[in-house]
């Protein structure tokens, strides 16, 4: 029996829930909501995420919005300053994996060990362990707007501490957890958690403090079109909006196909607007969009190729005139990047973002328009089906849709995902489905996918199956979009033995 | 003697990187092994418990997030305590944080009791060959003619 | 009195001239023309420059055509092999500056010192000192087609040694010498020299061996439109064609403005064809074109920014679907690149070339078409004027045109250049003239330039003058297309003191 | 005493990189100096000859192509022989081949007798300030109020 509903949490209930959340770790007591609202109110515009995005948008620029975090507070301050010095106005705040899984005692140990060893033993900043007072020092250390990253288990507590510390954005992306961060949670539990953060942001909003939510959607772990990802982003935006969130930032995952990426950049904010308006959230703003090097392809290991991939992605982002751009670093395939790698990587990306945006170059062609209309048709079909399944309630619909495989994506971590869909690239490098699972994609569009896949089958003389899907998954790291059967790792294809 | 060797797979600790272990699991199945796929974020204790329950022959653990060393402190000892000293322990993925040498990882994990340690992006077919050899030399599978 | 004419050198005269050329250095005696023709005939297709270009063109790829050379032969072999191993089929062959200036005894000393010291004391490979037998070892060491670089004084001898060694392409770019390599030579002397190399290639052609000439045109030392560069490339092609050259490769200098670069890529081969046909050289083929990161802007010093510039240029080249692409290395602003820098740089470029070309992405818009038609109008006006000045003889016309400033380009090394033209970028980053000198550009097009320049003057509130031109010249190295007045080196603008 | 100091500019040896020396020359002229601009590819001997002819006060030499050291072997000594020991010698550009330290270049060229050595991409206005100071301290121009 589904209990969750698309409905704002009652204020008293919410305040009661907060007590539980804040009692999870001693630093919870540092959070005083009224004082936090006051603190947020006094922040300069350069620390308000939506204001920064709006300004960047007006100026016609694309700024970097990287990822990074390190446990020791002095190091973190140095890191955010060095990012800010590079001209980066949107400052990421990656928390470590123990924190994200609410294993705060392990995070504590990792933090202490890190301090003792003088080097990081955690893969991010343990924000809860550091608490509000310490974290404010980081926020105040540079002139940028902060957005912390977490996952489901710690989402509520991380949000509480982060906003009280002066951070002004945070993902509230429950499909992200299903795709990549949470193995066992049910969709309902995920929505529950997201509603809490939405309600918290809504509370701030009711006091005039606008905090932005970035929606990541179902993390796309493989070579597939972004339709499910975009549809699930919009569901996340709707769930957040209902709780009072007033500012959402769409994310467009750049996959390497220029036509498909630019098509997605065009269609994503339009569809956000459409469904937000349709479901009564016309007052929710979209201050800007972020292009992300996120489809989770393995990254090239060689430095040159890694730079190639980073700069290329930034170029496409700039051609698409997105407001912010997330790229990885040249160390992505190796390990947590060094400070130098961060700087060199972002300098490369920044170089091209600035050079391309200056040109106000308009880019359009038949392929882009085609991808745009295909994505639009797919996302619309999926969302309409979800609403239908929920009988108008998007929360209920989302739960039923995952159950039914109406929302589905491959290689997800979550055990409730059907995992019946799969994709490969077509001859020009666009991502197409080879297995549709139960996705409610219109028949003529399925046929389009099949035709494109058949074209490649003809040219390469091999069946486009699971193994090709994995070949394609590795392709970018090997220097192309189309996978070859003989990449070094063989992709688990049955050998001769 | 069992018909097929039983292999346990999964990522250890709270590591969320499930793609690799899914591919590893499918490759093992394709190669004719019985695979118990624990998926991502599997605590070390769960590996041990399931190995006992399924009378496993090997564990092929993955870890990419850089904290495997912390997660697996004393793991081999716990395996021995649990009567699993004969179970082969393989691990692969990205075993350290930041730029570092695989040779150091290998040494460390071997000292921790792992039989084989694989560098990032290893060819899983080669690992399956290793596995076959190791299982045969343990003479648990005197004549291991797998399907592949 | 101009003596040179657009007329093929008589065979006997030519053979007599050869004696003088070959007697300049003992290794000249290693060149036996008949044996060399035979050697060339037996080369595999992969060593024939035009065949490689044609193949690449058919396959729809863009390959790298770098620059590099090092004095010690074993090092050079290692270098060309490592380039070839990266998948580079067009192998450059940079000669050192002493060789280019025919100071062969200094080159000899530099070579010997290099061998003694075990590291290079020369900035290239002294091909004449090494001679045919040694250089054949380099050519045979890898599976690529070679093109040596020289400048005027050594051009004839370098050509003789290079072709006899199995190289199958060479620039014959006398305006390149005027722009960047030869201080005092008259245009007539330059044409004389180019006619020799053309005649030598023509001789090979008469025996069925096709050697390609790449035309660089007047080296563009600054922020200016490429019209004069393209016009002078075509003049070089015509001079070479008259001597019997059967294969020419246009070079499009990529300046960083996508619209302008793509416009130039479209228009350049078309104008080559037009003038080759018009002047009776329909049998000269254009096997492919090369996009070059050549406008001689100072390069970014930081590694990240340098990668940004390299990958960006390669991206534009691939979007323009050129056949070959020359990019610099991340060490460009620092010094002669290390082998590692070569490899990383080309790996980055190759990554993006392959990824972009796979997509067969068609790119077009109003801006590109506008740049295309402007370049076309300018080049046509210039070339028609040159022909008019020469009364139909392009060689005579070229000489008179430089004298009259009808052909002109800033910051040239040659003392005969007028140096009365200057340019800046417009608001979108395209290069425009601020000083037209005596260029015969049609009035309405001059007005277009003036309007674009005025737009930027209005926005920036400063006059677009010499100082801005220099600011813009430095801009790319500082991370944008438009120069700022406060770049660190101040550009010689008068300070407060 | 001359009205204006006379400065000789140019790139040395067979160095073709003329852009920088053109900019340097214009900046000197803008700052009120008399400039004898020799342009690119100027042999060391020509610098000396012209300095004698024009009674020059300084030479601002450029070299980018990495072979300045070879080109300028014994240059200061030849200047002295030619009676030019008082002429200031400045050099700028890229003074070594491949990745290297500017500090090493500076040391080497100072040992070779250069008064000032400038790293790549130096601000020419700062160099002009140095020049003014050096000329004044040589007391050749007791009261050097330049136009700038
Ligand atoms: C995809 C990805 C993610 C996805 C995972 C999605 C999913 N469903 O799995 C998401 C976004 C969720 C994610 C999250 C995080 N990630 Co992550 N991620 C990656 C990425 C880009 C690719 C990993 C991958 O899937 N590779 C492809 C698969 C097929 O390869 P594989 O796992 O290596 O497996 C193959 C072989 O190695 C071998 N193999 C694997 N295991 C075994 C075992 C044995 C016994 C054998 C024989 C062989 C073998 O066979 C496999 C098939 O060929 C890597 C960087 C990279 N390499 O490009 C970072 C990376 C692994 N992530 C990293 C980090 C830090 C994180 C986060 C902590 C922070 C964050 N960015 O949010 C969180 C951690 C969450 C958690 N609790 O673990 C770091 C780890 C750093 C380190 N070790 O120093 C990396 C290296 C990126 C980086 N440089 O920062 N990540
Ligand atoms: C443009 C250029 C060319 C053009 C020159 C055109 C022309 N008309 O001048 C051309 C194509 C002809 C050319 C040719 C060659 N080049 Co070149 N070239 C460059 C490039 C890209 C820019 C140089 C430049 O103009 N900079 C801008 C000007 C304004 O700056 P500047 O000269 O440094 O001058 C400023 C300051 O330094 C200062 N300054 C300069 N001199 C002085 C002197 C004093 C006393 C003071 C106070 C200040 C001062 O003020 C100036 C104004 O701000 C550089 C790489 C780079 N830096 O990006 C390579 C570079 C200099 N070239 C190089 C080489 C090797 C060559 C060639 C040998 C090989 C080739 N590629 O063909 C030939 C050499 C020909 C020859 N005989 O010299 C190398 C030198 C390597 C080294 N030192 O280790 C470089 C570094 C590229 C590289 N990494 O390989 N080149």
**Tens of pLDDT along C76-120?**
999 899 999 989 999 988 999 889 989 999 999 999 999 998 888
pLDDT greater than 60 at residue C491 = no
Pocket of ligand 2 (CB under 6 A): C 67, 94, 97, 100, 123, 180-181, 219, 221, 296, 298-299, 331-333, 335-337, 411-413, 489; D 14-21, 23-24, 60, 62, 64-66, 90-94, 97-98, 118, 120-122, 124, 127
How many A from CA of C482 to the centre of ligand 2? Answer: 21
Q: Is residue B147 part of a domain?
A: no
Q: Kindly list the partner chains of chain B, i.e. chains with 3 or more CB atom pairs below 8 Å.
A: A
Q: Is residue D144 part of a domain?
A: no
Strand ranges, E, within C295-407:
324-326
Distance CA B74, CA A26 (A): 30
- Determine whether the interchain pair A343/C479 forms a contact, defined as Cβ–Cβ distance below 8 Å: no
Determine the distance in angstroms separating the CA of D111 from the nearest CA of chain C, rounded to an integer.
Answer: 20
Mean pLDDT across A124-153: 95
Of A468, A183, A487, A475, the closest CA to residue B18 belongs to A183
Return the residue matching tokens 């092929």.
Answer: B60
- Determine whether the interchain pair C358/A259 forms a contact, defined as Cβ–Cβ distance below 8 Å: no
Mean pLDDT across D64-93: 95
Instruction: For chain A, say whether C338 makes contact (Cβ under 8 Å).
Output: no
User: How does pLDDT run across A336-376, given as a tens digit for each residue?
Assistant: 888 889 899 999 999 999 999 999 999 999 999 999 999 99
Number of independent structural domains in chain B: 1
- Determine whether the interchain pair A489/B120 forms a contact, defined as Cβ–Cβ distance below 8 Å: no
Residues of chain A positioned with their CB less than 8 A from the CB of C256: 355
Q: Is residue B57 part of a domain?
A: yes
Instruction: For chain D, say whether C497 makes contact (Cβ under 8 Å).
Output: yes
Chain A (415-474) residues lying within 8 Å, Cβ to Cβ, of chain B: 415, 466, 470, 473
Q: Is residue C71 part of a domain?
A: yes
- Determine whether the interchain pair B129/A298 forms a contact, defined as Cβ–Cβ distance below 8 Å: no
Global pTM value: 0.95
Nearest to A411 among B22, B66, B70 (CB): B22
Tell me what pLDDT residue A494 has. Answer: 44
Mean pLDDT across A279-297: 95
Catalytic residue among B17, B30, B130, B134: B17
Q: Is residue A305 part of a domain?
A: no
Tell me what pLDDT residue C123 has. Answer: 82
Nearest to A354 among C352, C367, C480 (CB): C480
pLDDT greater than 70 at residue C497 = no
Q: Which of C96, C253, C296 to mutate to test the pocket of ligand 2 (most atoms within 8 A of CB)?
A: C296
Instruction: For chain D, say whether C489 makes contact (Cβ under 8 Å).
Output: yes
Residue C149: nearest ligand to its CA? 2
How many A from CA of A122 to the centre of ligand 1? Answer: 15
Residue B71: nearest ligand to its CA? 1
Contact of C73 with C112, CB cutoff 8 Å: no
pLDDT greater than 70 at residue A486 = no
Q: Which domain holds residue B22?
A: 6-137
Q: Is residue A325 part of a domain?
A: no
Distance CA A120, CA A123 (A): 7
Sign of the torsion formed by the C-alpha atoms of A475, A478, A480 and A484: negative
User: In a 3-state reduction of DSSP, which class is residue C247?
Assistant: strand
- Determine whether the interchain pair C367/A363 forms a contact, defined as Cβ–Cβ distance below 8 Å: no
Q: Is residue C229 part of a domain?
A: no
User: How does pLDDT run across A388-407, given as a tens digit for each residue?
Assistant: 999 999 999 999 999 999 99
Lookup: tokens for A163: 């906003």
Of C425, C362, C379, the closest CA to residue C264 belongs to C379
Of D19, D22, D85, D78, the closest CA to residue D46 belongs to D78
Q: D139 or C420, which is more confident?
A: C420
Distance CA B66, CA A138 (A): 25
Of A101, A412, A376, the closest CA to residue A263 belongs to A376
User: How does pLDDT run across B54-113, given as a tens digit for each residue?
Assistant: 999 999 999 999 889 989 999 999 999 999 999 999 999 999 877 778 999 999 999 999
Residues of chain C positioned with their CB less than 8 A from the CB of D19: 221-222, 296, 411, 473
Q: D101 or A474, which is more confident?
A: A474
**Long-range contact pairs involving B75-81 (C-beta distance under 8 Å, separation at least 24):** B75/B44, B75/B112, B75/B113, B76/B112, B76/B113, B76/B114, B77/B113, B78/B44, B78/B45, B78/B48, B79/B48, B79/B51, B79/B113
**Sheet of strand B6-11, all strands in order from the earlier edge strand to the far edge:** B34-37, B6-11, B58-63, B88-93, B116-117
Nearest to B66 among A183, A336, A496 (CB): A336
Sign of the torsion formed by the C-alpha atoms of C415, C416, C417 and C418: positive
Residue C345: nearest ligand to its CA? 2
Which residues, other chains included, contact A473 with Cβ-Cβ below 8 Å and sequence gap of 6+? A222, A223, A297, A298, A483, B19
Q: How confident is the model at residue D146 (pLDDT cuts 50, 70, 90)?
A: low
Per the prediction, chain D carries an average pLDDT of 91
Q: Kindly list the partner chains of chain A, i.e. chains with 3 or more CB atom pairs below 8 Å.
A: B, C
Tell me what pLDDT residue D70 has. Answer: 87
Contact of D99 with C338, CB cutoff 8 Å: yes
User: How does pLDDT run across C259-277, given as a tens digit for each residue?
Assistant: 999 999 999 999 999 999 9
Determine the distance in angstroms separating the CA of C308 from the nearest CA of chain D, rounded to an integer.
Answer: 20
Of C345, B41, D22, C312, the closest CA to residue A316 belongs to C312
Number of independent structural domains in chain C: 1
Tell me what pLDDT residue C374 has. Answer: 98
ipTM: 0.95
How many A from CA of B98 to the centre of ligand 1? Answer: 13
Distance CA D126, CA C489 (A): 9
By a Cβ cutoff of 8 Å, what residues of chain B touch chain A?
A: 14-16, 18-19, 22-24, 26-27, 30-31, 39-41, 65-67, 70, 94, 96-100, 120-125, 128-129, 132, 146, 148
Distance CA D71, CA D62 (A): 12
* CATH classification at residue B104: 3.40.50.280
Strands A421-425 and A431-436: antiparallel
- Determine whether the interchain pair B31/A497 forms a contact, defined as Cβ–Cβ distance below 8 Å: yes
* Residue A404 buriedness (CB in 10 A; 0-12 / 13-18 / 19+): middle
Q: A150 or D100, which is more confident?
A: A150
Taking CA–CA distances from D19, the nearest residue in chain C reads C411
- Judging contact as 3 or more Cβ pairs under 8 Å, the answer for C and A is yes
First to last CA, chain D: 20
Q: How confident is the model at residue B1 (pLDDT cuts 50, 70, 90)?
A: low
- Judging contact as 3 or more Cβ pairs under 8 Å, the answer for D and A is no
Q: Is residue A414 part of a domain?
A: no
- Widest Cα–Cα separation across chain D: 44
Going by the DSSP 8-state scheme, the letter that residue A64 receives in this structure is E
Distance CA A393, CA A390 (A): 5
Instruction: For chain D, say whether C183 makes contact (Cβ under 8 Å).
Output: yes
Query: Which atom of ligand 1 lies at the shortest distance from residue B120's CA?
Result: 37
Q: Which residues of C114-123 are buried (b: 16+ CB within 10 A; e: fewer)?
A: beeeeebbbb
Instruction: For chain C, say whether A58 makes contact (Cβ under 8 Å).
Output: no
Nearest to D98 among C100, C335, C492 (CB): C335
pLDDT greater than 60 at residue B142 = no
Residues of chain C positioned with their CB less than 8 A from the CB of D40: 183, 413
pLDDT greater than 50 at residue C384 = yes
Q: Is residue C415 part of a domain?
A: no
B100 is catalytic: no
Nearest to A413 among B18, B100, B125 (CB): B18
Sign of the torsion formed by the C-alpha atoms of A320, A325, A326 and A328: positive
Query: Which atom of ligand 1 lies at the shortest distance from residue A412's CA?
Result: 8
Contact of A494 with B126, CB cutoff 8 Å: no
- Determine whether the interchain pair A492/B14 forms a contact, defined as Cβ–Cβ distance below 8 Å: no
Q: Which domain holds residue A20?
A: 15-46+58-170
By a Cβ cutoff of 8 Å, what residues of chain D touch chain C?
A: 14-16, 18-19, 22-24, 26-27, 30-31, 39-41, 65-67, 70, 94, 96-100, 120-125, 128-129, 132, 146, 148
Determine the distance in angstroms separating the CA of A65 from the nearest CA of chain C, rounded to an integer.
Answer: 17
Residues of chain A positioned with their CB less than 8 A from the CB of B16: 97, 151, 180-181, 183, 413
Q: Is residue A29 part of a domain?
A: yes
Pure H helices in C171-302:
174-176, 187-206, 227-242, 258-278
Q: Is residue A85 part of a domain?
A: yes
Contact of C272 with C233, CB cutoff 8 Å: yes
First to last CA, chain A: 50
Of D101, D103, D129, D137, the closest CA to residue D117 belongs to D103
Q: How confident is the model at residue C319 (pLDDT cuts 50, 70, 90)?
A: very high
Residues in chain A: 497
Lowest mean pLDDT among A87-91, A489-493, C103-107, C270-274: A489-493
Contact of A311 with A352, CB cutoff 8 Å: yes
């Amino acid at each position: 029996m589904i209990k969750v509903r698309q409905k704002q949490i009652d204020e008293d209930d919410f305040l009661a829930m907060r007590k539980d959340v804040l009692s999870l770790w001693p630093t919870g007591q540092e959070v005083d909501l009224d004082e936090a609202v006051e603190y947020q109110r006094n922040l300069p515009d350069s620390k308000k995420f939506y204001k920064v995005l709006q300004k960047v948008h007006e100026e016609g620029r694309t700024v970097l919005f990287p990822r990074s975090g390190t446990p020791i507070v002095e190091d973190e301050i140095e890191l955010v300053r060095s990012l800010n010095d590079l001209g980066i106005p949107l400052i990421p705040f990656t928390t470590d994996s123990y924190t994200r899984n609410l294993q705060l005692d392990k995070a504590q140990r990792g933090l202490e060990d890190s301090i003792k060893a003088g080097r990081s033993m955690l893969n991010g900043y343990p924000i809860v362990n550091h608490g509000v007072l310490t974290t404010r020092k980081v926020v105040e250390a540079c002139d940028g707007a902060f957005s912390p990253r977490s996952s489901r288990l710690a989402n509520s507590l991380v949000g509480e501490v982060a906003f009280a510390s002066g951070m002004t954005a945070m993902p509230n992306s429950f499909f992200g957890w299903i795709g990549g961060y949470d193995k066992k949670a049910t969709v309902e539990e995920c929505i529950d958690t997201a509603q809490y953060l939405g309600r918290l942001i809504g509370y701030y909003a009711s006091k005039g403090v606008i905090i932005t939510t970035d929606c990541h959607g179902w993390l796309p772990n493989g070579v597939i079109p972004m339709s499910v990802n975009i549809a699930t982003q919009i569901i996340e935006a709707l769930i957040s909006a209902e709780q009072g969130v007033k500012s959402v930032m769409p994310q467009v995952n750049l996959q390497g196909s220029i036509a498909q990426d630019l098509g997605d950049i065009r269609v994503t904010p339009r569809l956000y607007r459409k469904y937000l308006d349709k479901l009564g959230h016309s007052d929710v703003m979209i201050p800007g969009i972020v292009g992300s090097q996120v489809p989770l392809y393995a990254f090239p290991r060689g430095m040159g190729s890694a730079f190639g991939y980073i700069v290329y992605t930034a170029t496409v982002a700039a051609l698409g005139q997105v407001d912010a751009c997330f790229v990885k670093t040249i160390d992505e395939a190796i390990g947590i990047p060094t400070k130098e790698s961060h700087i060199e990587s972002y300098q490369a990306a920044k170089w091209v973002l600035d050079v391309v945006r200056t040109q106000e170059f308009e880019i359009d062609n038949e392929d882009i328009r085609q991808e745009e209309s295909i994505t639009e048709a797919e996302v619309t079909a999926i969302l309409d089906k979800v609403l239908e399944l929920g009988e108008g309630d998007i929360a209920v619909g989302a739960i039923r849709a995952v159950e039914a495989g109406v929302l589905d994506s491959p290689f997800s971590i979550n055990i409730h995902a059907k995992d019946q869909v799969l994709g490969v690239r077509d001859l020009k490098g666009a991502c197409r489905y080879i297995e549709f699972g139960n996705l409610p994609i219109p028949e003529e569009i399925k046929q389009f996918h099949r035709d494109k896949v058949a074209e490649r089958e003809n040219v390469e003389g091999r069946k486009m199956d699971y193994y090709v899907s994995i070949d394609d998954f590795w392709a970018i790291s090997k220097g192309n979009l189309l996978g070859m059967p003989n990449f070094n790792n063989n992709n688990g294809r049955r050998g001769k033995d | 003697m069992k018909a097929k060797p039983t292999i346990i797979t999964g990522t250890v600790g709270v590591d969320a990187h499930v793609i690799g272990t899914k591919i590893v699991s499918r490759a093992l199945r394709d190669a004719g092994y019985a695979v118990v796929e624990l998926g991502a974020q599997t605590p070390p204790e769960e590996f041990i418990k399931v190995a006992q329950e399924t009378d496993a022959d090997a564990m092929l653990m993955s870890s990419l997030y850089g904290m495997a060393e912390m997660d697996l402190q004393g793991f081999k000892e716990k395996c021995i305590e649990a009567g699993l000293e004969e179970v082969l322990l393989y691990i692969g993925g990205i075993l350290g944080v930041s730029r570092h040498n695989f040779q150091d990882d290998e040494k460390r994990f071997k000292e921790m009791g792992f039989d084989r340690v694989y560098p990032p992006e290893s060819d899983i077919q080669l690992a399956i060959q290793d596995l076959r050899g190791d299982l045969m030399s343990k003479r648990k599978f005197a004549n291991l003619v797998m399907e592949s």
